[in-house]
Amino acid sequence: MVAAEAGAKALARGANAIEAAIVVSAALSVVYPHMTGLGGDAFWLISDGSMSSVRGLVAAGAAGSAYKTDVFRNRGLTEIPFRGGLSAMTVPGMLRGWETARSFSATHWSGKLSWEELLTPAQELAARGFPLSANQVKTLQQYWDDLTGDKDFCSQYLHQHTLPQTGELFRQPALAHTLSRLIDEGPGSFYEGDLADEMLSCLQAKGSLLQRQDLKNCNAEWVEPLLLPFAGGTLFNLPPPSQGIASLMIAGIMERLGLGNVDPLGAELIHGAVEATRRVFPLRDRVVQDPRQVLAPSWHGLLQEDFLNRQADAIRAGMFGLFPPWQSALGDTTWFAVVDAEGRAASVIQSLYHEFGSGVVAGGSGVLWNNRGCAFSLEPNNPRVLVPGMRPFHTLNPALFGREGHIEMAYGSMGGDGQPQTQAALLFRHLLHGMDPAAAVDAPRWLLGRTWGNPVTALRLESRYGKEVRARLRRWGHSLQVVSAYSDLMGHAGILRALPNGLWIGASDPRSDGGVAGPGSV
């Protein structure tokens, strides 16, 4: 909620949606460090309010030039490690995204805010402190053994090597100093200059193979979004290396199964979603990789009407559960959206990948580095095989929905494999079943596959689903695991929705520490 309020204050001072989104992005990097940070990546969808203007921004870094599969094989490893210096192997792209988005804001949306105005709220939060969230404390406790090996991490997050308490005032002076430098020098200093050199020196001392040129070569990229007709309008999401195509495919197959006409809290919706997910994820794993890679396969045919119709027909024919396995995807993520007074919108998702990323802080910078590189495979025939200079597979996929020429909704969720499934739940419950945004976000959810911090691949249901729903799903062949009523495993979702009078309303997930704020509320 603290980050949402920072964005709302920026809007009240005249910021446009992109500028306010940078404010929120930076603030989240301070107040939710177990999920996101300056050392991570981000994906954006932006629109001036018209469907024809939607464009995507990929702010995700690549593997360092020294990172080849033999680096790990020669160390006797068969997988890329989740933690430690060697796992700090991809360049964070988020700040390049800030630069690129701000430049677009200035040239297209008359943006005028300086880096001082954009980053000072985050800098002050790091310097003055904020009440520690229960989610961060729980995550620190859960992964204590994984995270206490880095002295700079302990200095920043575990003062005196003790677990902090929920609500405790939490300060990050090293990160505050780095944000002050970014205010003075601009985010480009993260990639070129003294700050870049200092961070690299610390990372290399801890085992990272990243080089100065790797940081310098990092750039954000504007991309054409993927589109899918849905509910009389159009869904927008991002192409690879994002898994946005999976979110669109699942929604498209579910609509063709007629799931807009079933009980939004019943077994049929879950059953259809799960069978669609089982068909989509193996396809996702074949096509979602860096499109700059020469041998990357085409994904465009997977959104064609005839292809989606065939998937729905196969499910109707009773081919349940007979599909190939997929490589489950983890991920710790934060999604947010901003809409300004002109109706311009930004839907943004950013992440360090796993909880607290690599667990490695780049020395006195206070920057916690991501571990997105462990999404690569070391198997030579795997579509996700590690290639130097290439971006890994990303679960991150922010979304927009438009109808009759105008953007009507921004929505998204964190949660690895759960992101496409949660997006489908929001779409069906709100757009097709008529639930209001808050009810659609609050309603009980399901998850097939893995999500942040949990390796289970069974179908999980929140306990608010009744015995009849569970019995029907078991009768249809699903192996179930019941989790708590408002489980973190189901991700943290949100919706911003346009009303007919031109105003917007928002819904934040009760499973999260997030919130909704507007210029009139701060």
Could you tell me the CA-to-CA distances from 211 to 52, 60, 119, 186, 386 in Å, in that order?
A: 40, 17, 27, 21, 17
Token look-up 């985010």 returns 187
Q: What gap in Å lies between CA 90 and CA 354, rounded to an integer?
A: 14
The answer to whether the beta carbons of residues 132 and 33 sit under 8 Å apart is no
Q: What gap in Å lies between CA 197 and CA 205, rounded to an integer?
A: 12
Contacts of residue 6, Cβ cutoff 8 Å, sequence gap at least 6: 23, 24, 27, 121, 122, 125
Give exposure, 110-138, as e/b (b: 16+ Cβ within 10 Å).
ebebebebbbbbbbbbbbebbebbebbbe
| Nearest partner of 453 among 357, 369, 332, judged by Cα | 332
Q: Which residue among 90, 333, 422, 451 is the active-site one?
A: 333
Could you tell me the CA-to-CA distances from 311 to 237, 271, 272 in Å, in that order?
A: 20, 15, 12
301 C-beta neighbours (distance < 10 Å), count: 10
Q: What gap in Å lies between CA 466 and CA 317, rounded to an integer?
A: 28
Question: Within 32-91, where are the H helices?
Answer: 69-73
The answer to whether the beta carbons of residues 334 and 357 sit under 8 Å apart is no
Q: Is residue 36 among the annotated active site residues? A: no
Q: What gap in Å lies between CA 200 and CA 472, rounded to an integer?
A: 55
The answer to whether the beta carbons of residues 234 and 252 sit under 8 Å apart is no
316 C-beta neighbours (distance < 10 Å), count: 13
| Nearest partner of 27 among 380, 336, 451, 413, judged by Cα | 336
Both structure tokens of 124:
């002050």
The answer to whether the beta carbons of residues 49 and 406 sit under 8 Å apart is yes
Could you tell me the CA-to-CA distances from 156 to 30, 54, 172, 256, 367 in Å, in that order?
A: 12, 39, 6, 50, 10
| Nearest partner of 413 among 344, 318, 509, 340, judged by Cα | 509
Burial (CB count within 10 angstroms: exposed 0-12, middle 13-18, buried 19+), residue 78: exposed
Q: Which residues are catalytic?
A: 333
